[in-house]
Every structure is written in structure tokens, then in C-alpha cells.
Amino acid sequence: MTVDEKLDGILSTILARNPGEAEFHQAAREVFESLGRVVAKRPDYLEDALIDRLCEPERQIIFRVPWTDDKGQVHVNRGFRVQYNSALGPYKGGLRFHPSVNLSIIKFLGFEQIFKNALTGLPIGGGKGGSDFDPKDRSDGEIMRFCQSFMTELFRHIGDKTDVPAGDIGVGGREVGWMFGQYRRLTNRFEAGVLTGKGLSYGGSLARTEATGYGTVYFVQSMLERQGTSIEGHRTVVSGSGNVAIYAMEKAMKLGARIIACSDSSGYVVDEEGIDLDLVREIKEVRRARIGDYVKTRKDATFIATGKGVIWDVPCDIALPCATQNELTARDAGVLIKNGVRVVAEGANMPCTPDAVEAFRKAGILFAPGKAANAGGVATSALEMQQNASRDRWTFDQTKDRLGVIMRNIHDTCAETAEEYGEPGDYVLGANIGGFIRVAEAMRAQGVI
């Protein structure tokens, strides 16, 4: 895909102003590749530097996070919060704790989040944050002290009407709890809606934990229904074994798919009898151990360490990359296509490289981009905010059913927008344009700010 000449100059300026930010460049380029068709129909979107403003975060906060380990040694990490766009609502997006975190990664995630949140149709702007802190092999006490130190700076920048963080890689319910506690202590306010993904005992929403993985599978279901078929009986491979992967596996299994393989950063397991999800949860959620432990219990399964192979070599009908960015390359796409893959849906953010996406497009594979397929998590965060604002609590089914409707609407918006803009079945184009128009309209209405 190429960038329309009317947009080429804008993109070049953005890339030059943000040197060395490879992931941000990748995310921006992908959106620009879709926008040519919009500005051809609506040249007014080129006025008032609207697209240039959309690409420049409203605010970027970078801060020092000092903390003390169990041996009394002091460490310093870097904290980030990029408040990207609040035209549609308070900044909303997760916090990622992983040693790879840098400004480029947080900006790519924040940029994607703007369009994703717009697609949900709910009143949430886009933001993202995190730290290069590595929680692996750290004690509970160390992680708690880190979370408290992180929040001791972040608290002055967030609020239920300003910016509402949640989890992402390395940040789950436990970490959100520690950060919420510190926020409450520092502000002397029980402001439930300042964070989402909270525990159920202090303002969390039922079904938020499940929402991203479930939502991704609902999206796949909608795509397949449109083709007159279903998930049932399909061989499915899911990368990762964290929050998104586990609940994608759970929902896909409930709908009759056969899950053959999953992974973590140490390698992947293949179980032709079907992945034992209870065992994966025990290993990853309870023991917080490595996925290789799976074969100690399931003797017929195999474990392949990273370096010896990649999970996408396992033949499947449905591939759900649910681990991290750029985990599925053109080489992997080639193998998947050769092995007859029918659907690829991104549970993670930007897991497929641009040339992998292009390969799927050329081969006519049903491809769901992350900003549409994984929007169920943030959508349910917005439902948690609604419950907090009204001091209410909904049942699991009430929340899950709303998630189902939201995912169906996102699917239909993407499908209909792709058709309207001349590329039926192109969910990448549909998601980018569908999200862009909602944000662009709100930005235009609110003037040059």
C-alpha cells in the first residue's frame, strides 16, 4: 500500500519530527495508507492541519520512578504517559510494564488507541503509558513498591474526567489494585473511575478481565458469519498466554474451536488433544511460571523453545496473535498461508508486521486489525467507568451482552466503511477510516486546539 500524494508531505514531516521511533512510524504509516480515500471524498479534512494535529500528542509526560528492591538496593526506571487525544472523552488506555517500553512504543500504542476507542462509539479519548520496569522474577513487595512509586508521580496527571489508565502487558488486576490504593491515599478521594480493570470488591466491572479475549473471538465470529460459516471445529493457534490469550482461548473453545497451541516469551506448546486451559492458567496466573512447564503434566504435548521455531509454523485455520507487537512476520504469514489459514485476528496491538498484513491481503485471508478486534477490553473499561459514575454494578451477563453488541457494531462499522470506500472485506481500511472520521468530526467541531 502507498500513501496518497496529498498526505505524503504530512507523513514525511511527522516521521522527521519523531526520529528513531520505529513503532510509532509503523502505526502512523498504516493509518496514512488508508486516509487517501477519505481525503479524496472529503478534502476539507486537509484543512486547519487537522491530520497534523491528530498525530501530535496533546501532552507527553516522562518521569523518574525510583524504587527499592528486597535487598535494599535502589533502582531507577522511566515512566511514561502519553495523553494523545481527548476530543471524544477523557484520555483512556492501558499501562504497560515491560523492559522494552520506550517513547516510540507508548506513542504507537496511544496513537492506535485513539482510533480504537473511537470505533467503540463510547466517549473515550486515546492515551497510553507504562514503564521499562521488568516485573519478571520480582517479589510481590517489589512490584507493589514500584506501583506505588509510579503512581506517586502519575496521580497528578490523571482523574476520572481527565485520564483513566488500565492494564496492558505486565499490568493486571493486582497492579491496578496497588496503583488505585496509592492514588486513593495521595488524593484522599475514593474516585473509582480513575482507573479501570479494578478488583470486583472496590469498583471493578464483571467481565472486564475476560473482555479483550472474548471480544476478539466475537469479532472473528462476525467475520465468519458474514461468510456463512462459524468458528466451530476450526484448528486455532493463539500466541501468548496472558490476559488476552487466555480469554480468547476460553471463548473460542466454548464456541467449539480446537485450540492446538499457545506460547509465552520462552517458547510455545503444541497439544494436538487440545490445550488444557486450566493447566495454562495454573502455570501463568497462579504460579507465574514459564509455559514449558505444561509438558511436565501433559506428556503427549511438545514444547519448542523460542529460537528453535515460531508458533506460526503450527498449521491452523484461525491464527490469533495475542502477545506483542511485530510477533508475526512476512515469513510467518507465508507459512500460515501455505498451511491454509482462513482467519487472522489481532488480539494484541500491531502483532503483524506491515508486510505480513500485505501478504494476508493479497492472499484474500480474512484479517482483523487490532484496533478493531481487540477493542472489547477498552470498551468494557468504558462500561466500568459508566458503572462507577452511576455508583452501580451490573451483572456479568449484562456487561458481556453489551460487549457482544459493541463488538458486532465495530465489525459492521468496519465492514460497511470498507465497502463504502471501495474495498469490500478490507477490515484494515474500514477500521482506520471508521475511527478517523469520528475523531476528525469531533476535532473540527471543537476548533483549532
* Catalytic positions: 128
Residue 36 binds ligand NDP (CB under 6 A): no
Residue 264 binds ligand NDP (CB under 6 A): yes
How is residue 92 written as a grid cell?
Answer: 483512556
Contacts of 27 (CB under 8 A, 6+ apart): 107, 108, 111, 112, 350
Task: For the segment 235-294, give every residue that binds ligand 2IT (CB under 6 A).
Answer: none
Comparing CB distances to ligand 2IT, the nearer of 88 and 359 is: 88
DSSP run (H or E) holding 305: strand 302-305
Out of 54, 101, 166, 341, the residue judged to bind ligand 2IT by CB under 6 A? 166
Residue 167 binds ligand NDP (CB under 6 A): yes
Contact 406, 214 (CB under 8 A): no
Distance separating alpha carbons of residues 62 and 80, to the nearest angstrom = 5
Distance separating alpha carbons of residues 175 and 144, to the nearest angstrom = 7
The amino acid occupying position 34 is S
34, interface contact from ligand 2IT, ligand NDP, none, CB < 5-8 Å by kind: none
End-to-end CA distance of the chain: 31
Residue 328 binds ligand NDP (CB under 6 A): no
Residue 348 binds ligand NDP (CB under 6 A): yes
Residue 349 binds ligand NDP (CB under 6 A): yes
Residue by residue, DSSP assigns 139-165 as: -HHHHHHHHHHHHHHHGGG-BTTTEEE
Contact 382, 190 (CB under 8 A): no
170, interface contact from ligand NDP, ligand 2IT, none, CB < 5-8 Å by kind: ligand NDP
Distance separating alpha carbons of residues 86 and 132, to the nearest angstrom = 25
Residue 381 binds ligand 2IT (CB under 6 A): yes
241, interface contact from ligand 2IT, ligand NDP, none, CB < 5-8 Å by kind: ligand NDP
Residue 205 binds ligand NDP (CB under 6 A): no
Out of 244, 318, 343, 344, the residue judged to bind ligand NDP by CB under 6 A? 244
How many Cα atoms are found within 13 Å in the side-chain-facing hemisphere of 443?
Answer: 28
Q: Are strands 258-264 and 267-270 parallel, antiparallel or unpaired?
A: antiparallel
* Sheet of 163-166, strands arranged across: 59-68, 74-85, 126-131, 91-97, 163-166
Residue 169 binds ligand NDP (CB under 6 A): yes
Residue 215 binds ligand 2IT (CB under 6 A): no
Distance separating alpha carbons of residues 55 and 112, to the nearest angstrom = 11
Site string for ligand NDP, 218-237 (x = CB under 6 A): --------------------
Residue 377 binds ligand 2IT (CB under 6 A): yes
196, interface contact from ligand NDP, ligand 2IT, none, CB < 5-8 Å by kind: ligand 2IT
Task: For the segment 389-428, give every residue that binds ligand NDP (CB under 6 A).
Answer: none
Q: 66 - beta bridge partners? A: 76
Task: For the segment 308-367, give every residue that binds ligand 2IT (CB under 6 A).
Answer: 349
Catalog residues that contact ligand 2IT under the rule CB under 6 A.
92-94, 116, 166, 168, 196, 349, 377-378, 381
